[in-house]
Structure 1
Amino acid sequence: MDHADRQSASAQDHAGHGDQLPGGAPWGTAAKATLHCLTGCAIGEILGMVIGTALIWGNVPTMALAITLAFIFGYSFTLFAVLRAGVSWKAAIKVALAADTVSIAVMELVDNGIIAVVPGAMEAHLSDGLFWSSLLGGFAVAFVITTPVNKWMIGRGKGHAVVHAYH
């Protein structure tokens, strides 16, 4: 088996179930991986934005807290799932970093970029519809943009594909 055949077999092994599309993982697998990542990111992002807004912090510290918490919660979902499979802490941390870093980074870049460019969103208060609509709208756009990234990575045995070895 040559290198290309091994890569193709590896991608199919890690891609899960569904219709294999040319050049990568099934869209359903990519969407599930993105939704998994989005869940952790959203919890951290919302918590960070709520804390920063409630404490009347400026835009930069609020976004920094939101991004930090998004990475922490995003990684933790994968970390604890892998730990339940009996993997050591050190190995589980490596798997979480490999599985989620690119996905979380893209998601955070898109989501926070949207919040930053929507007029008044960063100045909105927790009781304002603009606060919540820009935050949730950013998540929706981030999901749409991050799913093809995850599809590409999973199809090459990268990103969330590394977690499938522990299912």
Structure 2
Amino acid sequence: MRSTPWRELASRHALLPLRIFLGLTFVYAGLDKLTTPGFFAASGSGSIGEQMHGVRDTAAIPALVDLTLKAPAGFGYAIALGELLVGLGVLAGLLTRIAAAGGALISLSLWLTVSWAVTPYYYGNDLVYLMAWIPLVLAGAPYWSLDRLIRSRRSRRTA
């Protein structure tokens, strides 16, 4: 069976919608945390401290929640800035595999803490995000990316 130009084009760009979705979602999530008053507090409505206290007893790794509760502002900023950097990296296609691995790590930590007790498991979104990052960890961003631009400039210099 011969491949058509459309099929080849679609195949080359198959991960682009996923990249755009995850990138925009993580940029939005990071900015949302950074601009929400009281999010970085140890207690209070909508704070990371309150959220962690709420999931402490149902988390797969309660010790991770306890660690977060020792420095809620620090962990809150780390997650928010991590989400922002991951999102920007994936959107720009810069160090895409590393950014995607960061996104997978954030999603894994949220799944093991915040959404672990969600039943049935497929109602929780963090596991889905974790699985969505894996193709980008494996494939990177071979098209429409700064990674590709850098790679092509390097190959021209060495040629």
Q: TM-score with structure 2 length normalisation? A: 0.29
Larger Rg: 2
